[in-house]
Amino acid sequence: MFMFNGSGVAIVTPFKGSNIDLEGFKALIEFHLENETQALIVLGTTGEASTVSHEERVQIVKTAVEVAGGKIPVIVGTGSNSTEAAVNYTREAEALGADGALVVTPYYNKATQKGLIAHYTEIANSTKLPIILYNVPSRTGVNILPQTVAELAEVDNIIAIKEASGNISQILEVKRLVPNSFKIYSGNDDQVIPIYSCGGHGVISVSANIIPKEMQQMCKAFMDGRVSEALDLQLKYKKLIDYLFIEVNPIPVKAALNEMKFISNQLRSPLTVLEEGNLEKLRSEMKTQNII
């Protein structure tokens, strides 16, 4: 099962009042189709999935599948801290035409490593979709250990991991243990090149919402063996990436997209708009990089 190599966007969910801004969402997808993004990842953390209703989930997935039109894969965030709910979300995404599922570790109630294996195996066995594990301990409070990843990699349709632990030693150990066919995606935009050097295959990126072509150029440069060029791009956008995480994601990236006139700067509570001082820093760096 093949997903993608390079830069996939963890795309935002734009809002208009109390509704999904479907026209804004379509425009964002078209922007990515035009700018070399390799995959659309919808209903992830950046897509504010935790405050989207079931009816809205269906709207979002249907729209993404329709607009993408098979040109790039649509990967749907289907994780939950309830295994039953995650199974249902994954089956629904498959029925709606998704190409894959991104499944975050259970949060709040968490799980042991044994529990993680049972959770992911049950989800994988419920669908024909390829599954990407999503490890983000800073949000979920649970870490998928390398040996656990290796065991899960033996399940036929568990084919990749989005690694946002920030722990390069752990990622190296994952690479040592998993088959060569198993893909490792960076979940941190400031670690794309370090993770490539650990045998990674790309990034599921927040920054790609505003610099899609540049994120793909960074990935392609490394994949083509132009490592110095890839590193130069990583360093060039380091400050911008830092500002895109100056407050909790997706607060800054939605502010950035508003500055670019793509969407209104609306988030769902408990998220609030970017503080003015932080907005000035982000806006200044966007001007420096000729984004606005």
Q: Which residues are annotated as a binding site?
A: 46, 204
**Of 52, 121, 138, 51, which Cα lies nearest the Cα of 86?**
121
Give dist(CA 237, CA 265) in Å, integer.
23
* Residue 162 bears catalytic tag: yes
Neighbours of 53 (CB within 10 A): 9
Tokens of 110: 């968490």
Residues at the binding site for pyruvate are 46, 204
Q: Count, in order, helices (H) and strands (E) of the chain.
A: 13, 10
**Of 42, 102, 44, 40, which Cα lies nearest the Cα of 68?**
40
Helix (H) or strand (E) holding 240: helix 238-243
Tokens of 259: 């500055």
Considering the candidates 134, 185, 237, 243, report the single residue annotated as catalytic: 134
- At 204 the three-state DSSP class reads strand
Q: Which residue has the tokens 């392609």?
A: 220
Q: Which residue type occupies 243? A: Y
Contact status, residue 198 vs residue 145, Cβ threshold 8 Å: no
DSSP per residue, 146-194: HHHHHHHTTSTTEEEEEE-S--HHHHHHHHHHS-TTSEEEESSGGGHHH
Considering the candidates 26, 110, 128, 162, report the single residue annotated as catalytic: 162
How far does Cα 275 stand from its chain's mean position?
24
Task: Supply the residues annotated as catalytic.
Answer: 134, 162
